Chain A
């Protein structure tokens, strides 16, 4: 036991470094995938034909493809596959963040889309009736509310993302998992080391879950007010709101 504590202290700096890479990777990928997710969601709720229609088709194909591929396949395609068509990403960390962003972004676009569609149409109508442009109405009225609705769900995705970063060990990013692999190769003490790595992942997950729960508790009443509890009804197949001719048809006269 004493020996184990001694070893743990020796390994600690390596684990610290690995955990740091894991956290930084997760945070950066989360930020980027939220950006991707929001833009894709906005693109997909546009109306109108021509270029917009083509764009919607492409975005839909992106979302369905990236959600359908195992993350590890996406990562291998980017890191090992792309060089054979002349696109080489030398830094495995960059390739990893790119893969995570594309994959999680596809999932998050659906979260944002559902959140935007869940906002009461009366909000958009009021904004337009008071003279706001469509852009202003989205920017200042609809999106801030949609973000509040999306945050608790996104928190859940962050915890998943934190664990998914372990797959980056397969493309030689020295995050937490890869650190453990390296230590095991050097010491053959697999059980102790993977146990320790597991404990670190648990600490990271639990503390994120705790933060998410706090945020969620604060936002939940607001979320219900914003959506009238409709969010749960919105699935992937929900029709997009049609503001092209105002929002009249849905209103009782």
Chain B
């Protein structure tokens, strides 16, 4: 078991006896101005689990994902990472951060994100994109970071493109660099925010194949996606989010084949028709 560098000896002992969930979200509420986005979301992602978060556009999925690493603050609730409370609801007077800023950054570094629009650093080469976060955040030497970057890029099949700039790559290649950038951080969990939504249809497969192989290796993942077929095959647990609430959750079999809630049924039916 990896240590997050946040524990006292006693906490460490307790965690070995009873390993905590990788991420716990407890009754999180969030609104943008007057518009409620998350309305009491609770979920738990365990080690080695692939949690797919599905739902309509605008249902709050991506915002939820950004609460996990506290890139987005929320008004009420709590987020725990590896059993440690990281943040709770905040308002104008109180910060919701429960750990120091450097501890938060350490947590974020171990739960990197893969973005819908890739968000590769445009001024850096492919290699630079994977090397620089390791050097700047984890303090690794250039030699070590490059070695790990090459391993991560080999994993996504892009060693031939080390010196290219992101703008000269296809969307699928860019997203694979995005995944390699996350892998090189030795992540505890990777947060995927609609990783294939801005790809041309013929490029979706190559990215999903990589995510699937990571899932088979037992990497913990939170995956916001519109790829229902993929979620069904890969996820251990599926959360259906509807207007800021978790409308239904369960194994893919249950959720896709015998959903209980009318909203879930309607959504699944609409997807199957499309």
Give chain A nearest CB distance to B136 CB in angstroms.
Answer: 6
Give chain A nearest CB distance to B36 CB in angstroms.
Answer: 13
Of residues 214 through 249 on chain A, the ones whose CB sits less than 8 Å from some CB of chain B are 221-222, 225-226, 245-249
A125 touching B101 in the complex, CB below 8 Å, given contacts A131-B109, A145-B122, A252-B58: no
Decide: B133 and A132 in contact? CB cutoff 8 A.
yes
Which residues of A have CB within 8 Å of B185?
A: 130-131
Decide: A128 and B62 in contact? CB cutoff 8 A.
no
Which residues of A have CB within 8 Å of B71?
A: 125, 128-129, 246-248
Q: Is the interface of A mostly helix, strand, loop or mixed?
A: helix
Total A-B Cβ pairs within 8 A: 104
Decide: A252 and B72 in contact? CB cutoff 8 A.
no
A126 touching B123 in the complex, CB below 8 Å, given contacts A131-B133, A133-B105: no
Chain A, residue nearest B73 (CB): A245
Chain B, residue nearest A129 (CB): B113
Of residues 117 through 173 on chain A, the ones whose CB sits less than 8 Å from some CB of chain B are 120, 122-123, 125-133, 136, 140-141, 144-145, 148
Chain A, residue nearest B113 (CB): A129
Give chain B nearest CB distance to A177 CB in angstroms.
Answer: 40
Decide: A253 and B58 in contact? CB cutoff 8 A.
yes
Query: A126 CA to B130 CA in the complex, in Å?
Result: 12
- What are the 9 tightest A-B residue pairs by CB atom distance, in nearest-first order? A131-B109, A122-B119, A126-B119, A225-B167, A246-B72, A253-B62, A131-B108, A248-B72, A131-B137
Chain B, residue nearest A253 (CB): B62
Chain A, residue nearest B105 (CB): A131
Decide: B32 and A248 in contact? CB cutoff 8 A.
yes
Contact of B263 with A by CB under 8 A? no
Query: A225 CA to B72 CA in the complex, in Å?
Result: 26
Contact of A251 with B by CB under 8 A? yes
Contact of B106 with A by CB under 8 A? yes
A253 touching B59 in the complex, CB below 8 Å, given contacts A130-B108, A246-B71, A246-B73: yes
Contact of B230 with A by CB under 8 A? no
A252 touching B109 in the complex, CB below 8 Å, given contacts A122-B119, A126-B119, A246-B72: no
Give chain A nearest CB distance to B249 CB in angstroms.
Answer: 18
Which residues of A have CB within 8 Å of B166?
A: 225
Quick one: which of B62, B105, B106, B121 has the most chain A CB within 10 A? B121
Query: A84 CA to B37 CA in the complex, in Å?
Result: 62
Q: Which of B60, B105, B121 contacts A126 (CB 8 A)?
A: B121
A253 touching B60 in the complex, CB below 8 Å, given contacts A130-B185, A140-B132: yes
Interface residues, chain B, with chain A CB atoms under 8 Å away: 32, 37, 57-64, 66, 69, 71-73, 101, 105-109, 112-113, 115-123, 132-133, 136-137, 165-167, 181, 185, 191, 193
Give chain A nearest CB distance to B122 CB in angstroms.
Answer: 5
Interchain residue pairs with CB less than 8 A apart (15): A123-B119, A125-B71, A126-B119, A127-B121, A129-B112, A130-B133, A131-B108, A132-B133, A140-B136, A141-B123, A145-B123, A148-B123, A222-B167, A251-B66, A253-B63
Which residues of A have CB within 8 Å of B193?
A: 251
Decide: A226 and B66 in contact? CB cutoff 8 A.
no
Decide: A126 and B122 in contact? CB cutoff 8 A.
no
Which residues of A have CB within 8 Å of B119?
A: 120, 122-123, 125-126
Which residues of A have CB within 8 Å of B59?
A: 253
Chain A, residue nearest B135 (CB): A140
Give chain B nearest CB distance to A230 CB in angstroms.
Answer: 13
Which residues of B have CB within 8 Å of A148?
A: 123
Decide: A126 and B113 in contact? CB cutoff 8 A.
yes
Quick one: which of B122, B133, B137 has the most chain A CB within 10 A? B122
Decide: B136 and A132 in contact? CB cutoff 8 A.
yes
Decide: A123 and B112 in contact? CB cutoff 8 A.
no
Q: Told that A145-B123, A249-B32, A253-B64 touch, could you supply 12 new A-B pairs with CB distance under 8 A?
A: A125-B71, A125-B115, A129-B71, A130-B185, A131-B107, A131-B109, A136-B137, A144-B123, A222-B165, A248-B62, A248-B63, A252-B58
